[in-house]
Amino acid sequence: MPSPSCTSPHLTPLVQVDQLAKRYGETAPATVFEQVSCEVRPGEFVAVVGDSGVGKSTFLNCLAGLDSWQQGRVVHAGVDLSTLNEAQRAIWRRRHLGFVFQAFHVLPHLDVAQNVALPLMLLGRHGAESQERVQQVLQAVGLAELGGRLPQQLSGGQLQRVAIARALVHEPPLLLADEPTGNLDPGTARQIMDLLLARTRERQTALVLVTHSMDAARRADRILRLTSRGMQPEAAC
């Protein structure tokens, strides 16, 4: 069972992580982390902090079913990810997840608006309504005028906001964000955090945010610290 202090008191969990262990390599496996347990509920904002290299991005990839693990369980709204094959996980991700990757992963040959529209297209949503939604979310991240640009014509901070817009456009119940404000100036970072937080509260979606920024982490409902031996609540939460 997860430690009670890594859980929150109300509502059925949207995400349950139970005793997760991750190792890389087969002949001489190196443990990244083990005994990682936590829960995230709808409408909750959880920040995950930890030293560089401790496994935060790896942990988010496991939560998304993009990486495998050696022990433990990841359960989303009652669905154990280990019971889904690759194709089923991909379909599950499309419907339930927005992911802001630390390295953005925007597609270089598509313009900004096309990159942001991708999750809608994968859900079969085309046409004027989806274009309007793309414009709305570009506006929300401050890129309303840049929809026709190619990624190579953007700054690092603008690229980061494209990745954020793409993760939000289909209004997923769970948003996983890996250092989403890492390349932004303090003012823009605050605006992006306002946007993520407002969305979490208004729509009762959940946000798991990995960050090195204590300014960003302090706005969370709970701060969890990842170590190689588990996930512990940070004193401030």
Ligand X SMILES: Nc1ncnc2c1ncn2[C@@H]1O[C@H](COP(=O)(O)OP(=O)(O)OP(=O)(O)O)[C@@H](O)[C@H]1O
Contacts of 197 (CB under 8 A, 6+ apart): 45, 207, 219
Output 11 or 24, the one with its CB closest to ligand X. Answer: 24
Indicate which of Mg ion, ligand X, none lies near residue 85 (CB less than 5 to 8 Å, by partner kind). Answer: none
Does 19 participate in binding Mg ion (rule CB under 5 A)? no
Do 209 and 199 touch, CB atoms closer than 8 A?
Answer: no
Contacts of 59 (CB under 8 A, 6+ apart): 20, 22, 33, 36, 48, 210, 226
CA distance 94 to 18: 23
Figure out which of the listed residues 57, 131, 204, 228 binds ligand X, where binding follows CB under 6 A: 57
**Binding string to Mg ion for residues 41 to 80, with x set by CB under 5 A, is what?**
----------------x-----------------------
**Binding string to ligand X for residues 98 to 117, with x set by CB under 6 A, is what?**
----x---------------
How far does CA 211 lie from the centroid of its chain?
11
What element of type H or E holds 33? Answer: strand 30-40
Does 32 participate in binding ligand X (rule CB under 6 A)? yes
Q: How far is the CB of 52 from ligand X (least distance, A)?
A: 4
CA distance 147 to 110: 10
Beta bridge partners of 207: 45, 175
Output 3 or 57, the one with its CB closest to Mg ion. Answer: 57
Q: How far is the CB of 19 from Mg ion (least distance, A)?
A: 22
Does 55 participate in binding ligand X (rule CB under 6 A)? yes
Does 35 participate in binding Mg ion (rule CB under 5 A)? no
